[in-house]
Amino acid sequence: MELPRIHSPMTPTSLISSLPRISLPFPFSLAIVAHRTGIPDTVIALLTAGAEREKLVVVIASLAQGRPSLAVGNIIGSAISNILGAFSLGLLFRPTGSHVEFDRVLDSLAICLLGYVLSHAAINITDAIGISYIVFGVVVLAIATTRPEKFIAVLSGNRGHVGILVANTVGSNVFLLSLFLGIVMVDTSGNFDGGNIDVPELFVLWGSTLAITITVWYGDKFDPSIGGVMLSAYIVLIVSEFTVIRHNADSLPLC
């Protein structure tokens, strides 16, 4: 008789490692449905919550432990990573010589929605936060929880699914800055200290949003080098978090 298999318990490391496998099929399944029903790919931007489950778990867990600043840091860091870390990879892995066609109307409407959410989120954050510790929520946790988006971006770019690439990035950030940040605001009644967020992160978020907007409008005139520029900017941000920004924040009290 064959003995039953004993499955090892799910550890935090194995959970993070499984995130790409859990979230990867969802946007492509939506793409198939969109293709068969005639729905534009950009509509997927409004349906990408399935790829955000791990971030929702992080937000809820952080709030349950009384750490709203960690949740906010993860939200802002993930929004930056989606553009500079994931969207850039999609551009880099796009086949050389392939023609890029963006649905400028729908993509621009999605980005306008993102910009509207971003502006209101930034106002709420700047009204509520002071300068404090940054690195874990903005860099480490954000990179870990945006791994599915990076996998999706690479495959989308490599297969020429530019609509999915844009929709996944914009839709993900809309959910992050509206639904998830809204959960934090409701749970804390707007009185969170934003301990992991500093002003430079907000400027990077604004700048990266402007960069993806320009890419959508004029992407057919750029080669994948724009992806290299974005990725380089993200690396500079990470290095700055551990050096310049972290050094300036160390002199201030921990929130």
Residue 10: what pLDDT? 42
**Residue 41 placed within a domain:** no
Task: Count CB neighbours of 67 within 10 A.
Answer: 16
Q: Is residue 16 part of a domain?
A: no
Q: What is the pLDDT of residue 15?
A: 39
Higher per-residue pLDDT: 226 or 124: 226
Read off the pLDDT of each residue in 95-116 and give the average, rounded to a whole number: 54
Poorest-pLDDT segment among 1-5, 33-37, 81-85, 190-194:
1-5
- Tens of pLDDT along 234-254? 888 888 877 765 545 444 444
Number of domains in the chain: 1
Q: How long is the chain?
A: 255
> What confidence score (pLDDT) does residue 220 get?
59
**Is the pLDDT score of 14 beyond 80?**
no
Q: DSSP string of 24-73?
A: THHHHHHHHHHHHHT--GGGGGGSGGGGGHHHHHHHHHHHHTT-HHHHHH
178/12: higher pLDDT: 178
CATH number at residue 173: 1.20.1420.30
- Whether residue 144 lies inside any domain: the answer is yes
- Asked, for residue 43, whether it belongs to a domain, the answer is no
pLDDT digits (tens, 9 = 90+) for 38-71: 666 666 555 655 556 667 777 787 788 777 777 7
Task: Indicate whether 213 belongs to any domain.
Answer: yes
Q: How far apart are CA 235 and CA 210, in angstroms?
A: 18
Cα end-to-end distance, the chain, whole Å: 59
Alpha-carbon torsion (79, 163, 228, 148), positive or negative? positive
* Containing structural domain, residue 99: 51-250
- Is residue 33 one of the residues assigned to a domain? no
Q: Which residue has the tokens 């990408």?
A: 48
Q: Is residue 37 part of a domain?
A: no
Identify the pLDDT of residue 123: 46
Nearest to 112 by CA among 220, 219, 209: 209
Residue 188 belongs to a domain: yes
Which pLDDT does position 122 carry in this prediction? 44
Residue 23 has pLDDT above 60, yes or no: no
